[in-house]
Structure 1
Amino acid sequence: MMRLEGLTVRGGCAQMRDWCQTTKGGLLIAGTIALAASFLSEHYGAPAMLFALLIGMAFHFLASDERAEPGITFASKTVLRIGVALLGLRLTFADVAALGWAPVIGILVLVPLTLAAGVGIARLFRRPLAFGFLSGGAVAICGASAALAIAAVLPKRHVKEEDVLLTVVGVTAMSTLAMVLYPVLFSTLGLTETESGYLIGATIHDVAQVVGAGYSVSEVAGDVATVTKLQRVALLPVVLIAVALSFRRETGGAIGLPWFVVVFTLLMILRSILPLPETLIVTVNDISRFMLLTAIAALGVKTSLDQIFANGPRRMIIIGVETLTLLALALGFAWMFLG
């Protein structure tokens, strides 16, 4: 028996060595691209995810290389899911309740309306239901991170990698434009710092752009924008469950809640009830961010620009219309309940 156990252990170690040998090349490529994207983002101010995508696409010729393909695939799937799960440590339930009930209710209304609008707009442009969930969820929640998380839940036969990449490119581009234009728009409309901060947090897609736009207005607006944005991020597990329910027939009627959604929720609960060291929280957030960058770099390597735009600009237009829809809904809510 001991011999058999020893053989099993040795066999497991051999399999682990083989797996490391097989995946290390692709993982190293994706990780190096992620590091380069972080460096460029810090020095030039553009979104790191956009850099990761563009650099990854430049290395598309490696996607079919048998030495790189296993690691690239692992990074685009498993590393992605781990990174999304770790996002749960970013926020607490106290963050969600900090602004009072009216803004919280506003987010609870805006997110599902935007998701539903995304599905409707996609169908209007004759795009599949899955793309509506993908793009609508990315606009409604947290941009590229939400797009990657929703793509991981959608059945593989319903979502193409070029759809995911185009969604990431689209929401990142719209978020960057919004970071520049929305503070000017809200100031022109005569909104207060608090109202501007709320609208920035409720309408801009990516967290980094929300922070940049909010604090470009004032410290008060930046604080309000950040908390509001985190409320949207907190609804990510709910949206993922909704997507899983919508495609439950794919698994014979079962509702398979992805493990990374469970971990996301548990980490949010843990952050809420325990006084975790700030160093731990910062470290986990940095790890999560780097994993998502690595995953998106790998997705970039796997898809070419020709594939992304093969069906014309229709999908990019959909994301733009969804973005304007969210802005209109948020402005309407602010004028009715916050003015």
Structure 2
Amino acid sequence: MQNIRWAVLGTGVIANEMAVALKKNGRNIDAVGNRTHEKAVAFAEKYGIKKVYDNYNDMFTDPDIDVIYITTPHNTHINFMRRAIENGKHILVEKSITLNSRELDEAIALADKKGVVIGEVMTIYHMPIYKKLKEILESGKLGKVNLITMNFGSFKEYDMNNRFFNKNLAGGAMLDIGVYALSFIRWFMDSKPDQLLSQVKPAPTGVDEQAGLLLMNQEGQMASVMLSLHSKQPKRGMVSCEKGYIEIMEYPRAWEARITYTDSGETEVIQTGEHADALAYELADMEKAIRGDAECMHLDYTKDVMDMMTEFRKEWGFQYPEEM
């Protein structure tokens, strides 16, 4: 197959990271579109992109584009996804991939019909450290995973107009940072948690500012999560097994894990991959998926996580305008 041709929708921070990552993979973005045309022109000049759409909608029907990276706010995703899929484009979509399970189920059904690949930009499914840790767990040397404990907290100023607290921009802790914690949990659990409990503290705007989650699956594996948009926490994950435990710091883009074996008290540090190459790994896996290895995008895990996030928000009675 010839080189896969990429377009990017949006020119924000993530789009800039994507441009750098694709260059690390020896490639370049082929086209860029943005609602503000001048921003698209500046972005193209910065990264040597040859095609700038006068109207960003033209990327969905461009015959010279194979895959579109969607970097816009997540309440805009489903409309762009529909148009891309209907025109036979593969899509890689920023997290959270959609607002809810209904939207994601629709996109999956449409993608199956059109024969295209869709994937979420979730670093945990693509960083080499997580692939290595899964191999270690599958070897049996640590025994069964029994308990996972997660933290993710960011301190955001109380500006209720910014995207973190703004309901009209699909703000809230769950879709912004909870998606990472739940993706981590799903990676290490044998099946999707089907027993969910939670507490939530709402922001004045009606989005979730802070939440505590408890989860358990059919195998009896349990997990706890603490999320906050107004209290800094370390990005820390711990996977507790029968014969030891794994500690991972900065887990969204981790490159290192520490394993402690409980019988001996010995520790082992596993290092693989680079923090700075997180997006390059995702882009490489997306191209593998387009070439036939669709499972490497872990869309089944993406769906499980979206189902959980939807269930939690339903329990809280939190809806975005697009859902009403």
Taking structure 1 as the reference length, the TM-score comes to: 0.27
Q: Which has the higher contact order (CA 8 A, sep 6+)?
A: 1
Taking structure 2 as the reference length, the TM-score comes to: 0.28
Say which structure is richer in strand. 2
Say which structure is richer in helix. 1
